[in-house]
């Protein structure tokens, strides 16, 4: 029998996912001898067996890989015979720069869930039960390769029983880097906000927390990715107390249910939504009114909204909490409104002590705190939209390898910040960080930049920033580039949005021209005006602005984004201003009229157009959270009938889209007594018709849409329905359409337009 010795490299998301134990057991099955280890490229295997067994072994490696792994490359090469005596896992190699995908956090698996519920199991009620298929990864990562001593789990030495599992090839925890149990593992304690110990035994902790929640208390719970603020979602009084203390008057709270089975008792869950809710990422999934039937939930959980954000437990800790309660609970980010999610115990006590009555804490260090990710599906076409990309998805961006010498770091935008880094053949996008106007968010942003540089041991030699001269991300990026001697490039905000969609769908090499429709709230334009209603074309490495919505006055700076009434004031003709006088004091009316007469700063923002419509329809005059007016506008519509919709304008051979004509159309419908939901449908139908009208006028069949406006799922459905098969539509899929995608867009714009021309 002919023997063969080979070296196999597997790259992708293959560390911290049970790949080496999987390889070990396959080797035993196919009588293969050799070694497996992690290295900076992924997993490296030296294998020796008959040619037939090597072929079967290699095929099984790729086709039967662990469910949470993602292979993006594999390579086999024959090497000299080495005469291995057996097959074993050996310590990780560490000889060159890191060049593999990192590992995100994974939701608790069914087997671990069963163990914590089994009184006969050693991990019964142990809140940090994990295995090779589940548990925190990115949250606890200090450096790579993914080994226990490179994570905050290094503080917990495994007991004899855990070591036996770790070294047993037939055990599910064979080489599980997060392995621990109640004897040797992470310690949990319940204290009040004065640091008095309430309970320290796991058995008593969760029953006590259940009692505290049912009595109307707010409990800050340290999960494996950061703190959550929790309370009884059926108790309107405590929900309101949480709102007041957290300074979050209107923004909806997320809900935690114990299981998909219990969730189905209260909601009609379509298959595509169920699949997302139980996915390994365990995101918050937004359910619309048509799926909602749990009438016990307090109305102020999601004030004036016909939707709820629902999630299942993503950790053993949350699962044990959920098991102990018989009511849904609010589980919202543990922070003060506008600040980043907290993870440090002492800092949480200091910042949240005035909000939470009790704290459920543990002593596992969290290196990368992360909010829960948020996803919504459109009602008709089931278009999936990421509203927030964080825990479970960060820090990987799945794309073909990009080989090059330049180490590129993108600083992203100012609102909904994220960082992008390409230190090797892969792209990494940080978790959602927040608004950089908040100093604590800015500090977290700076820390994540340093963290990326330290993990990869690579300084960027190219730094990319937004063109906006006062964005904190831009200012910091310029400082970083100067300190490192790196090249600095400014990328226009909306071109970055467009580039993000082109990248997601591999359209940079498209032989056909692509229309980019980029609509959002604000972005610094190349003419120094505030853009936000833009149309671009892209072909052959060239991106050009094609047209845009007519400019209107940008009033009172950033205040305009917070007060939809100002957008309405700006867009109404002078003779119509008195009709909205009740929205302003006499003094305000005088000031804003004067501002409008003298104003030179203009905007094309479709986001502000949404605000104006919401104010005109008396839906929202003040935003208490970003995008509130647009969300509440969409919320008014349960369903639509295209046959009943009409457009307020007709796109013809004109220079720009007549923004004020759209407001006139809304006003006309309102004057006729048309119902608000139908007016909103007509408005959205108008926007969808404009997109296709511009495409038709320019003979373009491929349309790529990005920007925060495209979080409106009714607009997406209408656009897809009207377009039918006449156009190809592309949306952000693995990133949010909002400013979280700017960091990727900056990198891809640089690589495909600027760098390509250098």
Tell me the C-alpha distance between 695 and 512, whole Å: 13
Tell me the C-alpha distance between 292 and 294, whole Å: 6
Tell me the C-alpha distance between 669 and 688, whole Å: 18
Out of 38, 217, 314, 635, the active site residue is 38
β-pair type (462-466, 408-410): parallel
Tell me the C-alpha distance between 633 and 611, whole Å: 9
User: Other C-beta atoms within 10 Å of 248: how many?
Assistant: 20
Out of 20, 123, 173, 243, the active site residue is 20
Helices first, then strands: H and E counts in the chain: 23, 29
Rounded to whole angstroms, the maximal C-alpha distance in the chain is 96
Tell me the C-alpha distance between 517 and 702, whole Å: 11
Helix axes 19-29, 51-63, angle to 10 degrees: 150
The answer to whether 615 touches 568, Cβ cutoff 8 Å, is yes
Helix axes 606-616, 659-671, angle to 10 degrees: 20
Tokens representing residue 237 in the block: 């009084």
Which of 550, 553, 519, 552 is CA-nearest to residue 535? 519
Buried b (16+ CB within 10 A) or exposed e, 691-708: bbbbbeeeebebbbbbbb
Is 363 a catalytic site residue?
Answer: no
Buried b (16+ CB within 10 A) or exposed e, 580-601: beebbeeeebeebeebbeeeee
Cα dist from 156 to 128, 183, 625, 629, whole Å: 12, 10, 41, 48
Does 145 sit behind a cis peptide bond, omega within 30 degrees of 0 on the bond before it? Answer: yes
Tell me the C-alpha distance between 397 and 36, whole Å: 26
Query: Which residue has 């340290």 as its token pair?
Result: 222
Residues β-bridged to residue 519: 533
Cα dist from 756 to 38, 77, 139, 422, 606, whole Å: 34, 33, 36, 16, 32
Which of 328, 303, 311 is CA-nearest to residue 277? 311
Tell me the C-alpha distance between 628 and 632, whole Å: 6
Tell me the C-alpha distance between 666 and 128, whole Å: 55
H helices of 284-379, in order, are 316-324, 345-352
Is 20 a catalytic site residue?
Answer: yes
Tokens representing residue 84 in the block: 């291995």
Q: Which residues have C-beta within 8 Å of that of residue 434, sequence separation ≥ 6?
A: 338, 339, 340, 416, 417, 441, 444
Does 474 sit behind a cis peptide bond, omega within 30 degrees of 0 on the bond before it? Answer: no
Tell me the C-alpha distance between 560 and 612, whole Å: 10
Tell me the C-alpha distance between 251 and 242, whole Å: 12
Helix axes 676-697, 659-671, angle to 10 degrees: 150
The answer to whether 420 touches 428, Cβ cutoff 8 Å, is yes
> Which residues are catalytic, by number?
20, 38
């Amino acid at each position: 029998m002919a023997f063969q010795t080979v070296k196999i490299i597997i790259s992708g998301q293959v560390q911290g996912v049970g790949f080496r134990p999987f390889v070990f057991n396959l080797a035993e099955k196919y009588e293969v001898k050799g070694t497996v280890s992690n290295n900076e490229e992924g997993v490296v295997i030296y294998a020796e067996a008959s040619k037939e067994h090597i072929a079967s072994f290699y095929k099984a490696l790729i086709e039967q890989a662990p469910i949470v792994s993602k292979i993006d490359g594999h390579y086999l090469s024959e090497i000299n015979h080495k005469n291995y005596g057996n097959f074993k896992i050996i310590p990780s190699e560490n000889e060159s720069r890191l060049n593999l995908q990192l590992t995100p956090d994974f939701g608790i698996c069914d087997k671990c869930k069963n163990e914590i519920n089994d009184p006969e199991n050693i991990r019964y009620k142990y809140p940090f039960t994990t295995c090779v298929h589940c548990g925190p990864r990115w949250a606890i990562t200090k450096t790579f390769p993914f080994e226990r001593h490179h994570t905050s789990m290094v503080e917990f030495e495994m007991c004899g029983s855990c070591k036996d599992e770790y070294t047993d090839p037939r055990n599910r925890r064979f080489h599980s880097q997060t392995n621990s149990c109640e004897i040797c593992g992470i310690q949990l304690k319940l204290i009040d906000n004065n640091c008095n110990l309430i309970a320290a035994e796991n058995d008593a902790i969760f029953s006590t927390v259940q009692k505290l929640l049912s009595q109307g208390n707010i409990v800050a719970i340290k999960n494996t990715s950061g703190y959550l603020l929790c309370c009884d979602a059926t108790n309107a009084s405590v929900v309101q107390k949480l709102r007041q203390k957290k300074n979050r008057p209107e923004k909806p709270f997320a809900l935690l249910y114990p299981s998909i089975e219990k969730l189905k008792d209260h909601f009609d869950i379509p298959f595509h939504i169920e699949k997302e809710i139980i996915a390994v990422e365990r995101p918050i999934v937004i359910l619309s009114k048509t799926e909602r039937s749990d009438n016990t939930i307090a109305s102020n959980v999601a004030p004036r909204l016909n939707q709820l954000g629902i999630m299942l437990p993503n950790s053993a800790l949350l699962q044990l909490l959920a098991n102990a309660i018989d009511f849904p609970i609010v589980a919202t980010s543990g922070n003060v409104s506008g600040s980043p999610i907290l993870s440090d115990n002492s800092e949480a006590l200091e910042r949240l002590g005035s909000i939470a009555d009790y704290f459920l804490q543990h002593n596992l260090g969290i290196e990368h705190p992360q909010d829960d990710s948020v996803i919504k599906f459109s009602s008709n076409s089931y278009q999936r939209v990421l509203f927030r990309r964080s825990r479970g998805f960060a820090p990987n961006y799945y794309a073909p390898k990009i080989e090059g010498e330049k180490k590129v770091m993108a600083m992203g935008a100012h609102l909904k910040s994220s960082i992008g880094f390409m230190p090797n053949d892969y792209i990494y996008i940080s978790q959602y960080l927040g608004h950089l106007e908040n100093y604590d968010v800015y500090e977290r942003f700076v820390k994540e930049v340093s963290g990326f540089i330290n993990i990869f041991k690579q300084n960027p030699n190219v730094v990319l920033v937004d063109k906006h001269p006062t964005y904190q991300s831009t200012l910091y990026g310029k400082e970083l580039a100067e300190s490192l001697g790196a090249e600095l490039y400014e990328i226009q905000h909306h071109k970055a949005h467009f580039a993000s969609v082109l990248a997601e769908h591999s359209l940079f090499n498209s032989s056909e021209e692509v229309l980019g429709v980029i609509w959002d709230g604000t972005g610094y334009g190349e003419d120094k005006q505030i853009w936000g209603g833009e149309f671009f074309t892209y072909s052959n490495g060239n991106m050009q602005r094609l047209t845009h919505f007519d400019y209107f006055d940008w009033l009172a700076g950033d205040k305009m984004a917070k007060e939809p009434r100002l957008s309405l004031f700006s867009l109404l003709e002078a003779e119509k201003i008195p009709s909205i006088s009740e929205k302003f004091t006499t003094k305000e009316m005088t000031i804003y009229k004067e501002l409008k007469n003298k104003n030179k700063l203009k905007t094309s923002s479709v986001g502000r157009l949404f605000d104006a419509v919401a104010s005109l329809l008396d839906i929202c005059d003040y935003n208490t959270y970003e995008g509130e007016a647009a969300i509440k506008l969409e919320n008014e519509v349960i369903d639509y009938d295209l046959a009943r919709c009409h457009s307020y304008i007709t796109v013809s051979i004109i220079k720009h889209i007549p923004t004020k004509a759209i407001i006139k159309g809304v006003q006309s419908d309102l004057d006729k007594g048309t119902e608000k939901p139908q007016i909103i449908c007509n408005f959205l139908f108008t926007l969808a018709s404009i997109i296709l009208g511009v495409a038709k006028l320019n003979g373009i069949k491929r349309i790529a849409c990005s920007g925060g406006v495209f979080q409106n799922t009714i607009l997406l459905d209408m656009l897809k329905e009207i377009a039918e098969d006449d156009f190809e539509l592309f949306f952000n899929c693995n990133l949010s359409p909002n400013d979280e995608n700017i960091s990727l867009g900056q990198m891809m714009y640089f690589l495909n337009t600027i760098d390509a021309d250098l």
